[in-house]
Amino acid sequence: MAAEVAYFTYIYAKISRDKYQQVTGNTRAAILSGRFLASVLGQAMVSTGAMDLRELNYITLGVCSRNGTVTANGDNQTKSDVDLTSNAAVVSAFESRKPQDSDGSNTSKVRFSCHRAGNLIWTHFTAAYSNLTIVQWSLWWSLAMAGFIQVQVYVQLLWQEIDQNQEYLYNGGAEALLTLLGAISAMAAGYVANRVFEQWTLWVLTVCSALQGGLILYSGFSTNIWAAYTVYILFGALYMFMITMASATVAKYLQEDSFGLIFGINTFVALAFQSILTVVVISESGLMLTPRGQFKVYGGYFLALAAVYLVPATVSSVRHCSRGRRSPEGDSGIGDESGKVDPQMMATQSNRQQQRVELEGSTHF
C-alpha cells in the first residue's frame, strides 16, 4: 500500500494534469491485472503440483527484491514530493539576498531547517484540505478503503460459515475474478466523463456507498455461497471504479509537490479506521461478532457512509433548484456551469502561495 502511494506520486509528477484520470485508470488496471495473473499462475502451480506454497513465497521474494533493485538504479530524477533543499526558485531568491564575500561568493550555504519543513508541510496540508472537493473525495477515500480492507481480510471466514461442508470451494477463483473485473472497472473509470462526477459528486458518493452497503449487508444474510461470491465481486469492482475516480479527482486539485503527503494522509486515516473497526467488531475487548455479524456491521458501515453524503447532497440539490428558479440565466461567478472552480486554476494559485511561504521561510536560515 505504501508502494502504491509512492508509485502514483511518481506517475503524477511525470504527466500533465489533464491526463491524471486516464493514467490513474490505466495504472490501477495494470496493478490489478498483475494480481490476477499472479493468482492464476500461483493456483496453476499449486494445483498441478509443480510448486508448493513455500516455493511460491521464494519466487515472490526474489521478484520483489529484483524490482526494488531495478527501481533504485532507474530514473531517480523525479521532483521530490517535499523539496526542502533544492527548490530552484527558492534557493535562487535566497542566494540573491545573502551577503557575499569580496570575491562574489556567498558566505553560507542553504541548510535544512525543521521550521521551514514544518511550514511547507503545513502549507500543503491547509491548501489541500481547505478545498471542498478534496475533502469530499478524501473522506470517502479513507472510510471506503477502511471498509474494503476489512471486508477483503475477513470474507474468507464468511464463506467458510456459509459453506461449512466446503462443497464448492472456489475462494481463489472469486478473488481472481474480482481483480480481473476490478481492472476492467478501473480502466473504465479512466475514460468516464469527469464533468458528470464533478457536477454530481455528492450524489455519486451517496449512491455508490449505498450500493456497496447493500451488497455487503446481503452477503451477511446469504446462505448461498455462489450469491456470496457474486456480491463480493460486484462490491470489489465498484470499489475499484470509485477509488480510481477518487485518487484522480483529488490529484487534479492538489499542488504539484503534495501528492505523496495527501495520499499518505488519506491512506493513514483509512488504516486507522480499519484498526478501529477491528477492535470494535472482532477483538475480545469489543463485540467479538461472528462472521455473519461482522458483515452486517460492515454493510451498516457503508450505509452510514452513504447517509453522511446524502444530507449535504440533498441540501445542495435544493439550493441549486432554488437558485435556478431565481436566476434562470445562471450565475456569473468564477468557475464552470456546475459551480466548480477549475482545478488547474486552484493548483496554480496554491503553488504561488507555496512559493511565497517558501521565500518567507528562507529568511530564517
The answer as to whether 298 is a domain residue is yes
Lowest mean pLDDT among 33-42, 231-240, 325-334: 325-334
| pLDDT over 50 (residue 119) | yes
Mean pLDDT score, 219-226: 92
**Tell me: the pLDDT tens digits for 20-32?**
888 888 888 988 8
For residue 301, give its domain range: 2-12+20-68+122-327+340-344
Cβ–Cβ under 8 Å, residues 31 and 190: no
| pLDDT over 80 (residue 222) | yes
| pLDDT over 90 (residue 355) | no
The answer as to whether 42 is a domain residue is yes
Mean pLDDT score, 284-297: 91
Mean pLDDT over each residue of the chain, to the nearest integer: 79
* 311 vs 118, residue with greater confidence: 311
| pLDDT over 60 (residue 85) | no
Mean pLDDT score, 218-245: 94
CATH number for the domain harbouring residue 133: 1.20.1250
Alpha helices for the chain (secondary structure H) = 2-14, 20-48, 53-72, 88-97, 114-129, 132-162, 171-189, 194-199, 201-221, 225-252, 259-281, 291-326, 343-361
Share above pLDDT 90 across residues of the chain, in percent, rounded to a whole number: 36
Among 44-48, 59-63, 159-163, 340-344, the range of highest mean pLDDT: 159-163
Lowest mean pLDDT among 16-25, 125-134, 201-210: 16-25
Amino acid at 170: Y
The answer as to whether 158 is a domain residue is yes
Cβ–Cβ under 8 Å, residues 257 and 79: yes
The answer as to whether 222 is a domain residue is yes
pTM of the model: 0.76
Q: What are residue 149's phi and psi, to 5 degrees?
A: -60, -45
The answer as to whether 151 is a domain residue is yes
| pLDDT over 60 (residue 289) | yes
C-alpha dihedral sign at 278, 206, 237, 34: negative
Mean pLDDT score, 41-70: 78
The answer as to whether 198 is a domain residue is yes
How many domains are there within the chain? 1
Lowest mean pLDDT among 16-25, 67-76, 295-304: 67-76
**Cα end-to-end span (Å), the chain:** 36
**Tell me: the pLDDT tens digits for 88-107?**
444 444 444 444 544 554 54
The answer as to whether 117 is a domain residue is no
The answer as to whether 102 is a domain residue is no
Lowest mean pLDDT among 55-64, 174-183, 192-201, 246-255: 192-201
DSSP letter, residue 106: B
